[in-house]
């Protein structure tokens, strides 16, 4: 595992070796074969060459064709002439006092995203929180990323790269057969993944492929603010675990703190959760609930939360997240006593409701704190995007 300094001092860790136009990262097998055919690899070798590239990219994690040891030198030179498998620039890599790691990556067009690794208590495994967009069109009031304008969707390559970079830094190549350090993934970083569904789907299929990274779909969770029409597709086409950023139990409060609720109100969202393909008691839907003092944390809110989950008969667990303040935020974290009381009420109703301990606060890596400097979309463009997403009318 690479040693990095503690604290918030940025560290330039690596220079870019990524060439977006020529990268093989993020391509599916058919696309790799097609590229190889384009550069003259004979038809009868295509399947074997594609498997070799895939193995070295996603099982061994190499960053240079030179390291593809069972590929002939001539072939390696040919691959290097036309393609790249390098990484983006890592402009900051930080480690929190609690072991949380955050990487700020810069892509060749200048856009930046953050990726966070959160070790569990024992520190022998952990979860990687991957971003899906540069910025976000949604403007959830409690979220730092929501104050950043959407610049663009991330490509499949840029989504997969976040995983590869984390594995590089954790020193976890080749793919372990058991006892993984990077043991699960949540699509919960910057952006709304269901507004970038096709690219997320392609990237997650690569991450799940059993000839490479081979992370089980049961170890992957996609978190949405509630883009109802895409939820069914998510269950049917990638069948990963689902998490919902709920954060309120009535439309008035949710409209206020999560404007997407005006487009897809609670009733529609909960019905889509009930119908989510694959949701069952053994595979519950997670409801994220950020605890905002005097906004959504009353005893009545707890009662309504239980009532709604039972009314819609959703196999559910609730994650209570004490609000993580960020510069300029208008909310306060609920009192510890009230968070505990809220949690106990939900537990008492037979629904798991652990309180998530804030992680990586000292490096602004905690939930809702991510934000890069890529703020290039003009206000008019943002309004246009929000209108097309149906967030505003």
Indicate which residues carry an active-site annotation.
114, 367
87 touches 168 (CB < 8 A): yes
DSSP 94-156: EE-TTS-EEEEEE-TTS-EEEEEEEE-TTSS-EEEE---EES-S---TT-SGGGSPP-EEPPH
Nearer Cβ to ligand SF4 (11/332): 332
**Nearest-CB residue to ligand SF4?**
146
341 touches 303 (CB < 8 A): no
In whole angstroms, give the CA distance from residue 257 to residue 135: 18
DSSP tag of 317: E
Show contacts with ligand SF4 in window 241-280 (CB under 6 A).
245
> Under the criterion CB under 6 A, does residue 192 sit at the interface with ligand SF4?
yes
> Under the criterion CB under 6 A, does residue 143 sit at the interface with ligand SF4?
yes
145, 153, 196, 221: residue in contact with ligand SF4 (rule CB under 6 A): 145
| Residue span 325-354 as binding mask against ligand SF4, x where in contact by CB under 6 A, dash where not | ------------------------------
The dihedral sign for the CA sequence 273, 278, 281, 282: negative
Task: Tell me how far CA of residue 294 lies from CA of 24, 139, 312, 320, 368, in angstroms.
Answer: 50, 20, 26, 15, 19
Question: Which residue in this structure is represented by tokens 């976000």?
Answer: 136
88, 119, 191, 322: residue in contact with ligand SF4 (rule CB under 6 A): 191
In whole angstroms, give the CA distance from residue 223 to residue 247: 13
Minimum separation from the CB atom of position 367 to ligand SF4 (A): 8
190, 203, 366, 377: residue in contact with ligand SF4 (rule CB under 6 A): 190
Nearer Cβ to ligand SF4 (181/273): 273
> Under the criterion CB under 6 A, does residue 225 sit at the interface with ligand SF4?
yes
> Under the criterion CB under 6 A, does residue 140 sit at the interface with ligand SF4?
yes
Piece in contact with ligand SF4 (CB under 6 A), picked from 136-144, 198-206, 326-334, 341-349: 136-144
335 touches 371 (CB < 8 A): no
Positions that interact with ligand SF4 (CB under 6 A): 136, 138-140, 143, 145-146, 190-192, 225, 245
């Amino acid at each position: 595992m690479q040693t990095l300094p503690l604290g918030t001092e940025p560290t330039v860790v690596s220079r870019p070796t990524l060439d977006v136009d020529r990268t093989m990262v993020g391509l599916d097998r058919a696309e790799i074969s097609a590229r190889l055919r384009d550069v003259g690899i004979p038809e009868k070798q295509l399947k074997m060459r594609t498997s070799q590239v895939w193995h070295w990219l996603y099982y061994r994690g190499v960053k240079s064709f030179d390291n593809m040891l069972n590929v002939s030198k001539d072939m390696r030179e040919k691959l290097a002439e036309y393609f790249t498998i390098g990484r983006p620039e890592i402009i900051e890599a930080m480690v929190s006092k609690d072991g949380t790691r955050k990487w700020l990556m810069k892509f060749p067009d200048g856009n930046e995203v953050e990726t966070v690794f959160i070790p569990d208590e024992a520190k022998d495994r952990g979860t990687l929180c991957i971003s899906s967009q540069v910025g976000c069109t949604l403007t959830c009031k409690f979220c730092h990323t929501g104050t950043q304008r959407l610049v663009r969707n991330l490509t499949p390559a840029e989504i997969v790269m976040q995983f590869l970079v984390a594995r590089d830094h954790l020193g976890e190549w080749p793919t372990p057969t058991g006892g993984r350090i990077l043991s699960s993934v949540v699509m919960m970083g910057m952006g709304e993944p269901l507004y970038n569904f096709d690219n997320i789907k392609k990237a997650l299929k690569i991450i799940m492929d059993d000839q490479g990274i081979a992370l089980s779909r049961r170890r992957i969770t996609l978190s949405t603010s509630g883009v109802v029409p895409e939820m069914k597709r998510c269950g049917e086409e990638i069948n990963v675990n689902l998490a919902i950023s709920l954060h309120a139990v009535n439309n008035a409060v949710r409209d206020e703190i999560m404007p997407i609720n005006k487009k897809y109100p609670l009733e529609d969202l909960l019905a889509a959760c009930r119908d989510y393909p694959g949701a069952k008691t053994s595979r519950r839907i997670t409801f994220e609930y950020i605890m905002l003092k005097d906004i959504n944390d009353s005893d009545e809110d707890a009662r309504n939360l239980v009532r709604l989950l039972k009314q819609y008969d959703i196999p559910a667990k609730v994650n209570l997240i004490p609000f993580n303040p960020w510069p300029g935020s208008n909310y306060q974290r609920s009192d510890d006593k009230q968070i505990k009381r809220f949690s106990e009420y939900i537990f008492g109703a037979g629904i798991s409701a652990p309180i998530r301990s804030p992680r990586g606060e000292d490096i602004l890596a905690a939930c809702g704190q991510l934000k890069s400097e890529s703020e290039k979309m003009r206000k008019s463009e943002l309004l246009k995007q929000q209108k097309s997403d149906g967030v505003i009318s």
